[in-house]
Chains A and B, each alone.
Chain A
Amino acid sequence: MFDNDFLALLPETFLVSATILLLIYGVVYSTSKQHAAQPNVRNIAWLGLCCIFITLILLVTQPITTANLCYNNFILDNFTFSFKVGLLISTICTILMCLQYFQQEAGTPFESIILILMSTCSMMFLISAYDLIAMYLAIELQSLCFYVIAASKRNSEFSTEAGLKYFLLGAFSSGILLFGCSMIYGFTGVTNLEELAKIFTIQAFGPSSNVSLEPNFLQTTQLFFESHSSGVFLGILFIAVGFLFKITAVPFHMWAPDVYEGSPTYVTAFFSIVPKIALIAIMLRVFIYSFYDPTWQQLFVFCSIASMILGAFAALSQKKVKRLLAYSSIGHVGYLLIGFSCGTIEGIQSLLIALFIYVLMTINVFAIVLALRENRLKYISDFGALAKTNPVLALTMSITMFSYAGIPPLAGFCSKFYLFFAALGCGAYLVAFVGILTSVISCFYYIRFVKIMYFDTPKTWILYKPMDREKSILLGFTLFCITFFFLYPSPLFLVTHKMALSLCL
Chain B
Amino acid sequence: MEFAPISVYLVISLLLSLILVGVSFLFASSSNLAYPEKLSAYECGFDPFDDARSRFDIRFYLVSILFIIFGATVSNQVILEVTFLFPWAVSLKKIGLFGFWSMMVFLLILTIGFIYEWKKGALDWE
Measured CB to CB, the residues of A under 8 A from B are: 2, 20, 23-24, 27-28, 31
The residue from B98, B109, B112, B119 contacting A31, defined by CB atoms under 8 A apart: B119
Cα A119 to Cα B120 in complex, Å, equals: 22
Q: How many residues of B are in contact with the other chain, CB < 8 A? A: 8
- Identify the closest chain A residue to B113 (Cβ): A23
14 extra interface residue pairs, beta carbon distance < 8 Å, beyond A24-B115, A24-B116: A2-B98, A20-B109, A20-B112, A23-B112, A23-B116, A24-B112, A27-B115, A27-B116, A27-B119, A27-B120, A28-B119, A31-B119, A31-B120, A31-B121
Q: Which residues of B contact A27 (CB under 8 A)?
A: 115-116, 119-120
Tell me what chain B mostly uses at the interface: helix, strand, loop, or mixed. Answer: helix
- Identify the closest chain A residue to B117 (Cβ): A27
A-facing residues in B2-49 (Cβ within 8 Å):
none
Cα A24 to Cα B108 in complex, Å, equals: 13
A-facing residues in B62-116 (Cβ within 8 Å):
98, 109, 112, 115-116
Measured CB to CB, the residues of B under 8 A from A are: 98, 109, 112, 115-116, 119-121
User: Ordered nearest first, which 7 A-B pairs have the shortest CB separation?
Assistant: A27-B119, A27-B116, A31-B119, A20-B112, A28-B119, A27-B120, A23-B116
Most buried by A among B98, B116, B121: B116
Q: Closest approach, in angstroms, between the C-beta of B69 and any C-beta of chain A?
A: 13
Cα A219 to Cα B109 in complex, Å, equals: 49
- Identify the closest chain A residue to B102 (Cβ): A2
Q: Which residues of A contact B120 (CB under 8 A)?
A: 27, 31
Q: Which residues of B contact A2 (CB under 8 A)?
A: 98
- Identify the closest chain A residue to B109 (Cβ): A20
Q: Which residues of B contact A20 (CB under 8 A)?
A: 109, 112
Cα A31 to Cα B123 in complex, Å, equals: 14
- Identify the closest chain B residue to A1 (Cβ): B98
Q: Closest approach, in angstroms, between the C-beta of A360 and any C-beta of chain B?
A: 36
Cα A426 to Cα B60 in complex, Å, equals: 60
Q: Which residues of A contact B116 (CB under 8 A)?
A: 23-24, 27
**12 A–B pairs (Cβ distance < 8 Å), ordered by A:** A20-B109, A20-B112, A23-B112, A23-B116, A24-B112, A24-B115, A24-B116, A27-B115, A27-B119, A27-B120, A31-B119, A31-B121
Most buried by B among A20, A27, A31: A27
Cα A267 to Cα B83 in complex, Å, equals: 34
- Identify the closest chain B residue to A20 (Cβ): B112
Q: Which residues of B contact A31 (CB under 8 A)?
A: 119-121
Q: Which residues of B contact A24 (CB under 8 A)?
A: 112, 115-116
Cα A20 to Cα B121 in complex, Å, equals: 18
Q: Closest approach, in angstroms, between the C-beta of B38 and any C-beta of chain A?
A: 44
Q: Closest approach, in angstroms, between the C-beta of B50 and any C-beta of chain A?
A: 27
- Identify the closest chain A residue to B116 (Cβ): A27
Cα A24 to Cα B116 in complex, Å, equals: 7
Cα A138 to Cα B109 in complex, Å, equals: 17
- Identify the closest chain A residue to B112 (Cβ): A20
Q: Which residues of A contact B119 (CB under 8 A)?
A: 27-28, 31
Cα A31 to Cα B119 in complex, Å, equals: 7
- Identify the closest chain B residue to A26 (Cβ): B116
